[in-house]
A and B are shown apart, each in its own frame.
Chain A
Amino acid sequence: MSIRQTALEAYREALPVVALSAVGGLFAGVVLGGMEAELAAVPGLLLLVPALLATRGNVYGSLGARLASALHQGLIDPRFDFADRRTRAAVAAAIANGVLVSCFAATAGFALLSALGRDHATLATLLGIALIAGTVSGILLTIAVVVVVFLGYRRGLNPDTLAGPVVTTTGDVVGIATMLAAARIVLVLGGG
């Protein structure tokens, strides 16, 4: 294949997905704008937003890429029964990674703000939000990644092109929405 053909094919394959993710990004921006009250009530949450969102993208983007490469190599089958040892391990590891790193981000963010003498919520509040948001978004994003990558592959699409943007799109929207829900739950439970 020539460079021109490769470029055209890559462009055509990626354009719809990237355009869709732009719509998701705009939506995420609007949701974030609606979080003003929670961001004010939980000082330090804004600092965590990039880290928590990036963690969603990292962990579940890697899950998507791992599944995509394994499909290309014939290591796994695109089936939803989870009998496959590799698929099961990849999913379990992704959720464990997501929750552990979210809690690390909350702890490190708390330590950073304390060290700088900036305003911050209690460690328990930040950890609680990270734990709830990390777990719920992990389950939702795992479902999104596995369904899109497997269904896309079955229909003859390149899972490499699907995995990244789908994760970034759903990751941002799901990440901000679960953070908002988690912040509300923790605030109701008396955090702050």
Chain B
Amino acid sequence: MARWTVREILADMLPVLVVLTLVELGSGLVLDTLQETLLQYPSLLVLVPVTIGMAGNLGAIMASRLSTATHLGLLSFEPTDETLAGNAIATVALAATLFPVVGTSAWAVQSVVGQTALPVATVVFVATLCGGILAVLSVVVSVAATYVAFRVGADPDDVVLPVVTNTCDVLGVLVLFAVVRLFV
């Protein structure tokens, strides 16, 4: 059961937020260090916030649905659970539909406002591969986080969503750069 006074919400959330902020500062350092690579390929720079945002979104939807299902007592952590398996499939399908469009759009936006150093096919390929990897990772992360919160009796709304979104943020940066390093 969620706790509903200002003091209780702060006590529940602040420690988590402080830890996550330190993690994000670490990913800020990584971005800072890789700034030159990004500036060399402006279409990939435009892709960065979208990729991170989409990864976070997919994880957030999955986690939010799993949280509500646990609140209502409707979730069993089995691969055959309808909520679990259905949402996992939907997450991967969403990524498969949207990331090719995201790649095309990032390339198009960049070619309108500036120069594009990469062909559209490369940008679409990078976006789609990142999306596929991130969809699978966001399913794993959201199921694991909800399960841990459920086991230790924490309110999944307070704990799971921040953990999932931040993990997907960091994974978004790391996956994008791994794909860029390997294929561009």
The interface residues of chain A lying within 8 Å CB-to-CB of B85 are 3, 6-7
Nearest residue in B to A62 (C-beta to C-beta)? B161
Report chain A residues within 8 Å CB of B91.
10
Residue B128 lies at the interface, judged by CB distance under 8 Å to chain A: no
User: Quick check: B45 and A5 within 8 Å, CB to CB?
Assistant: no
Q: Is A127 positioned at the interface, with any CB of B under 8 Å from its CB?
A: no
Is there contact, CB below 8 Å, between B61 and A161? yes
Interface status of A32 (Cβ within 8 A of chain B) = yes
From known contacts A3-B85, A18-B58, infer whether A50 and B109 are also in contact, taking CB-CB under 8 Å.
Answer: no
Which B residues lie within 8 Å of A1 (CB)?
Answer: 82, 86
Among A14, A19, A75, A108, the residue within 8 A (CB) of B90 is A14
Whether A11 contacts B45 in the complex (CB less than 8 A), given A101-B21, A172-B53, comes out as: no
- In the complex, which of the residues B45, B54, B97, B166 contacts A25, with contact meaning CB atoms closer than 8 Å? B54
Q: Are B64 and A163 in contact (CB under 8 A)?
A: yes
A51, CB-defined interface residue at 8 Å: yes
Number of interface residues of B (CB under 8 A): 69
| Minimum C-beta distance from A171 to chain B (A) | 9
Quick check: is A135 within 8 A (CB to CB) of the other chain? no
Contact among B6, B80, B89, B157 with A93 in the assembled complex (CB-CB below 8 Å)? B6
Q: Which of A2, A15, A25, A32 has the most CB of B within 10 A?
A: A25
Q: Which of B1-57 contact A (CB under 8 A)?
A: 2, 4-6, 9-10, 13-14, 17-18, 20-22, 24-25, 27-29, 31-32, 35, 45-50, 52-54, 56-57
Write the A18-47 contact mask toward B (1 if CB under 8 angstroms, else 0): 110111111011101100000000000011
Question: Is B161 within 8 A of A22, CB to CB?
Answer: no
* Interface residues of A, Cβ cutoff 8 Å to B: 1-11, 14-15, 18-19, 21-26, 28-30, 32-33, 46-51, 54-55, 57-59, 61-62, 65-66, 68-70, 72-73, 75, 85-86, 89-90, 92-94, 96-97, 100-101, 104-105, 108-109, 112, 160-161, 163-165, 167-169, 172
Which residues of B line the A interface, CB within 8 A?
A: 2, 4-6, 9-10, 13-14, 17-18, 20-22, 24-25, 27-29, 31-32, 35, 45-50, 52-54, 56-58, 60-61, 63-65, 67-68, 71-72, 80, 82-83, 85-87, 89-91, 93-94, 97-98, 101-102, 105-106, 109, 113, 157-158, 161-162, 165-166, 169, 173
